[in-house]
Amino acid sequence: MSRKVLVTGGAGYIGSHVTVELIQAGYDVVVADNMSNCDMTCLEGARKVTGRDDIPFYRIDCCNPDSVRKIFKEHRIDALIHFAAFKAVGESVNSPLKYYRNNLDSFMSVLSAAAENGGCNVLFSSSATVYGEADKQPVTEQSPRKPATSPYGATKQMCEDILQDTVKAGIGIKGMALRYFNPVGAHPSALLGELPRGVPNNLIPYVTQTAIGKRECLSIFGNDYPTPDGTCLRDFIDVVDLAKAHVAAVGRMIDGKMKEDYEIFNIGTGRPVSVLEIVKTFEKVNGLKLNYRFAGRRAGDIMAIWADPSLANEELGWKASRSLEDTLKSAWAWELHLAGKNE
């Protein structure tokens, strides 16, 4: 019998890619999303890519425990992956209560429903943001978590703690937190990808929107950092690789292969890439020139962070494999798809 995974936030950027990879790996998927930060584009893309028009979809707010309970009543859920959260760092600084309320409430209501139902394997979508400005690079899962620099980051740390405490309570919940570095790129089909609302905060959507002419000029925030080319260093993890890490993680949980009831894995490539390198590679692989300029440093940016992914490599049997070139081609193909230019 096939195993069923509930994906909260499954209509969003990462959630929809995970939905595709899970289905392609033979899982049944139930998607829950309140569509507060997306439309149906990515879920429809997931349906097309998988040929599964019947992916069950619940338009619910996970902060409402009754709505989540209903899903557990209607499906036998083997694992749940929780993506349903707000994710804009800057917005979280200006609207902390919105972030604390939504991100904590939704996770607690999902956990409660799972516990009431006799337990579940729970995978939490965490972030490298929990490390803050780390003293040593690359960061391992043992690197200390530094005080969060934004309410968004604080909610990631708190949700990790909530999951760990819930696991410890012995009420049938097993937990895993995957700490993503910088998820980028789109599905090779160009049918799903990142759909930022308004002016993008993140680098890659800003790059693709500048290339297509939606934005006039990309500002590179800071070229005076003590890094090889003066710009910040990040670990850009392809979204399909990232999605595959979830498949491996879910398999480990469902198959009873966890070594501890609560585990944490870094999900990154292990390779630092500079912002300028991204721009140059994007130009090269897509054969275009990007309008960019160097601007001042962005408040709150850390100079460099990249993962030591060896624990995930060994324990999950997972490794990032898509090249940066292919990832940046896919990001551009997705932007073109959105513009209707390659149809």
Of 58, 131, 152, 180, the active-site residue reads: 152
Q: Which stretch binds ligand UFG (CB under 6 A): 34-42, 126-134, 314-322, 327-335?
A: 126-134
Comparison of 56 and 196: residue with beta carbon closer to ligand UFG:
196
Which member of 63, 154, 176, 232 binds ligand UFG (CB under 6 A)?
A: 232
Task: Report yes or no: 194 and 240 within 8 Å, Cβ to Cβ.
Answer: no
Q: Which stretch binds ligand UFG (CB under 6 A): 7-15, 55-63, 124-132, 162-170?
A: 124-132
201 belongs to the binding site for ligand UFG (CB under 6 A): yes
Q: How many Cβ atoms sit within 10 Å of the Cβ of residue 252?
A: 21
227 belongs to the binding site for ligand UFG (CB under 6 A): no
Token pair 């937190």: residue: 177
Please name which of 237, 207, 211 lies closest in space to residue 221, comparing C-alpha atoms.
207
DSSP states of 205-225: HHHHHHHHTSSS-EEEE-S-S
Q: In the range 155-184, which residues lie near ligand UFG by CB under 6 A?
A: 182
- Token pair for residue 263? 């585990």
Q: In the range 7-66, which residues lie near ligand UFG by CB under 6 A?
A: none
Q: How many Cβ atoms sit within 10 Å of the Cβ of residue 46?
A: 29
| Element at 182 (helix H, strand E) | strand 182-184
Residues that bind ligand UFG (rule: CB under 6 A) add up to a total of 20
Query: Is 152 in the active site?
Result: yes
Q: How far apart are CA 214 and CA 139, in angstroms?
A: 36
Residues 286-325 as x/- pattern, contact with ligand UFG by CB under 6 A: ------------x--x------------------------
219 belongs to the binding site for ligand UFG (CB under 6 A): yes
C-alpha 332: how far from chain center = 19
- Minimum distance between the CB of residue 132 and ligand UFG, rounded to whole angstroms? 9
Comparison of 261 and 277: residue with beta carbon closer to ligand UFG:
277
329 belongs to the binding site for ligand UFG (CB under 6 A): no
How would you classify the pairing of strands 292-295 and 218-221?
Answer: parallel
Which member of 13, 206, 262, 318 binds ligand UFG (CB under 6 A)?
A: 206
Calculated CA dihedral for residues 284, 290, 294, 296, nearest 10 degrees: -110
- Minimum distance between the CB of residue 180 and ligand UFG, rounded to whole angstroms? 8
Q: How far apart are CA 105 and CA 115, in angstroms?
A: 15
Q: Which stretch binds ligand UFG (CB under 6 A): 47-55, 157-165, 199-207, 324-332?
A: 199-207
Helices marked H in the chain — which ranges? 13-24, 41-50, 65-74, 89-94, 96-116, 151-168, 203-212, 239-254, 275-286, 310-311, 324-338
- Minimum distance between the CB of residue 220 and ligand UFG, rounded to whole angstroms? 4
Residues interacting with ligand UFG, by CB under 6 A?
87, 89, 127-129, 153, 182, 201-203, 206, 218-221, 232, 234, 275, 298, 301
Which active-site residues does the annotation give?
A: 152
